[in-house]
Amino acid sequence: MASLWQNDGRDGWTARALEPGDWFELGRSGEAVGRVGVAGRGAVVLTRYRDEVTGRERWVMLAGARAGARVNGQCVQTGVRALRDRDVIEANGETWFLSTERLPATEPYTATASGATCRRCGLSMESGQAAVRCPRCESWHHEMNDRRCWTSLTGCAGCGRQTSSESYVWTPALL
């Protein structure tokens, strides 16, 4: 699940998960992210959609004329801007980082036409088996009571990403 990072000026960077939904307004005060239906002239709204070919999330920003929005330092002159992982968004005097990184989560494996094998043990994945899909390399691992191919490792068998689901690999503090 993607998240927005903001510096709170006290403890450093905090991430706010962009929960399932379609629209997120970047507010001028108080709540950094709320769900909205209609954007006013100064509003900045993030919207997500799913790429039908890759299945990945894509993000687009809509910025009202009065918001003075910038992405990575560039003015959003057309009012519409496609966003990528780690983009810096400035608007209404505030700054956010968009991170599309998701945390590893156990979910039932759903079979696809091409099928999948567990990256660690090499056995084929069966529909409904508890499994983890690596957030970085997308490879599948078993995560059943008697076969924990994900959490028995400290790093993904495919790419080495840490298997802990406690923390994000990337934060703006790394910049």
Question: Which spans of this chain sit near Zn ion (rule: CB under 5 A)?
Answer: 118, 120-121, 134, 136-137, 142, 149, 156, 158-159, 161
Nearest-approach distance from CB 109 to Zn ion, in angstroms: 11
Nearest-approach distance from CB 162 to Zn ion, in angstroms: 10
Q: Between 29 and 145, name the residue whose CB sits nearer to Zn ion.
A: 145
Nearest-approach distance from CB 113 to Zn ion, in angstroms: 21
Q: Between 70 and 147, name the residue whose CB sits nearer to Zn ion.
A: 147
Nearest-approach distance from CB 126 to Zn ion, in angstroms: 11
Nearest-approach distance from CB 151 to Zn ion, in angstroms: 11
Q: Between 81 and 120, name the residue whose CB sits nearer to Zn ion.
A: 120
Q: Between 81 and 141, name the residue whose CB sits nearer to Zn ion.
A: 141
Q: Between 94 and 138, name the residue whose CB sits nearer to Zn ion.
A: 138
Q: Which helix (H) or strand (E) holds 145?
A: none
Report which DSSP code applies to 25.
E
118: three-class secondary structure by DSSP:
coil
Give CA–CA dist 122/120, Å, rounded.
Answer: 6
Cα 4 from chain centroid?
Answer: 8
Burial 7-21 (b: 16+ CB within 10 A, else e): eeeeeeeebeebeee
Cα 63 from chain centroid?
Answer: 21
Cα torsion 93, 91, 20, 141: sign: negative
Q: How many CB atoms lie within 10 A of CB 136?
A: 15
Report which DSSP code applies to 119.
T
